[in-house]
Amino acid sequence: MVDTTPLTTVVDQFADRLRAAPQSRLQRGGAAEALALARELSAWAQRVEEPGRAVREMPDAGMFAAADQITVAARDLAIVLREPGEVAKAVEAVEAAMKRAGV
């Protein structure tokens, strides 16, 4: 079993920053960036778990749900990852999204 702690740690940091961010920052793109990341992580998990099946898109639950959406998507992905390199790639994706979100 691969250690996914680096992924869950960085996602928790991102989620905490989103929860603490003012609404204006979320509206300026922080929430949209988080939703895009949540969708990316969710699709990745689905492709690993159910290869060949159509990916279901995570719905937009609103800017105040973005932190929860990235947390759920990352936890789903963490369950199916099998290689340390995959974990590192996921961590890089989260860090890049956090930077773009400006939180």
Q: What is the pLDDT of residue 18?
A: 96
pTM of the full structure = 0.94
Instruction: Give me 87's structure tokens.
Output: 């974990």
Q: Domain limits at 22?
A: 5-101
**How far is residue 87 from each of residues 10, 30, 45, 79, 91, measured CA to CA in Å?**
11, 23, 12, 11, 6
Q: 15-47 pLDDT, tens per residue?
A: 999 999 999 999 999 999 999 999 999 999 999
Q: Is the pLDDT of residue 1 over 90?
A: no
Q: 77-102 pLDDT, tens per residue?
A: 999 999 999 999 999 999 999 999 99
Q: What is the pLDDT of residue 43?
A: 98
Q: What is the pLDDT of residue 69?
A: 98
The rounded distance, in Å, linking the Cα atoms of 51 and 56 is: 12
Please state the domain count of the chain: 1
Q: What is the pLDDT of residue 103?
A: 85
